[in-house]
Structure 1
Amino acid sequence: MLRSRKRWAAVATALLLSASAGPAFATDSYEVPLHQAKELPIYAAQYKGKPGETCASIPATKDGWHFIAPGSPNEVSFVKLTVKFEPGGEQVITVFGPPNENHAYAASEPGAKLVSAVALVEGTTGGGKKLEWFNLSHTCPSTATTEPTPSQSSTTPAPSTSTSASTSPSSSTSSSPSASASTSTGPSSSTSTSPSSSVSSPAPSVSASASGGTTGGDLAKTGSDAPVGLLAAMAAALIAAGAFLLVRRRRSGAQG
């Protein structure tokens, strides 16, 4: 019976030791801030990695972020990483690596900014010293080419004005004085002069008409601008002078 009591005492002691060991293990993880916290918000373009530096399996359509908990990977590791992007919101990361669990990766939309980051880590550096912060090693900005979204565009054709001005002034002035004279052997003499002028534009059109309504009938146009009446008077004077000379010669011949 004494032996059984000793056995139960040993079991109880073991249970107590295991219960006390649980909280001790839980306290091994602790929270550390981002080393670049004073620079927040941060864009991926500000920490672009050097040639050859990658962001694990983060696709090229996203901005990749690579975080490191400094120290030996055999001594220090991430337990949980909480980051927040705008846009994108908060992400909680619990899977780490490669190559070790002191490397963590996050993905954001292209051009998003990191506004906060905090990590839960476990382990210590050489000498049993806890970490003071974790570091943003580098980023991998998106390299994907965004296809342009087709958009409808309305094109208003420029007004086209064609002006064709054709001016062909055609002006014709015809002034043809037409005179009609009628003389009679009687004591009276009638002379009629009617100048006629016709102007038409644009089609040239010349019309001239002269009519004399006298008892002597119509006289044809002589083609001269001198009045027919004057010519007739001069002809009569010449005839009278010729008759006078003829009579005078006859008289002189009779007297001689």
Structure 2
Amino acid sequence: MPISPKRWAVAAVPAAASLLLAAGAAPAFADGSYTIPIHQDLPLTATSKGVENKKTCADIPSTQDGWHFVLTGNSTTFVKLKVTFEPGGEKVVTVFGPPSDKHAYVASEPGAKLTAASAEVTGGSVKWFNLSHTCPASATASPSPSVSSGAPSPSGSPSSSASASSSPSSSASPSASASSSASPSGTPSDTPSGSPAPSGSASAPASGGTTGGGLANTGSDAPVGLIAGMAAALVGAGAFLVVRRRRAGAEG
């Protein structure tokens, strides 16, 4: 009995839907990858109870926590690994090993918590992947040098002593005041303004004698008049003796 067009339409709809579903699933089955969770309960730290610790995790430095993840089964390998740390956020790993793509290594800050982990894998049929062990940080990272907030003073900046004004080298001596100095005899001797009085300046004699054209003081206490009188008497006596001798010669 021939099939009516209505029945053909009813039968064609499920067939078309099946083809569409198969077409959408084709890429997933073509590369054979699927997503699996981590086997351990989270969150965890590198030193959590029940987590195995080792000294090194591939090339992860000792200043960070190292995490080693591994897949079970001989034919299963990692395609992509996503892990989330607190602090640190999400990290995506696409390079695996050593020794093979069944092993994955991730670094975190010391003491960070692993809060989420999932992996895209290919091959085999596994339900999860495992945290093999951790490598807690064993060294402290040296802090970077802090930058000073103040601008450094230039090496050629003048010192505080240079800022002070130096006293002039040609300052006037106190003795060079514009005043007249008195001589020991009481007679004032005027000195030029601004010039010091010479230490060897001449002064009037203390005896009170005149400084005119008289005889110089010889240091004797005898008066000058007495000496002159004695000299005149001696001259007169000599002249008298000479005259007397001449007269005596004339008479004889």
Q: Give TM-score, length-normalised by structure 1.
A: 0.43
| Higher relative strand content | 1
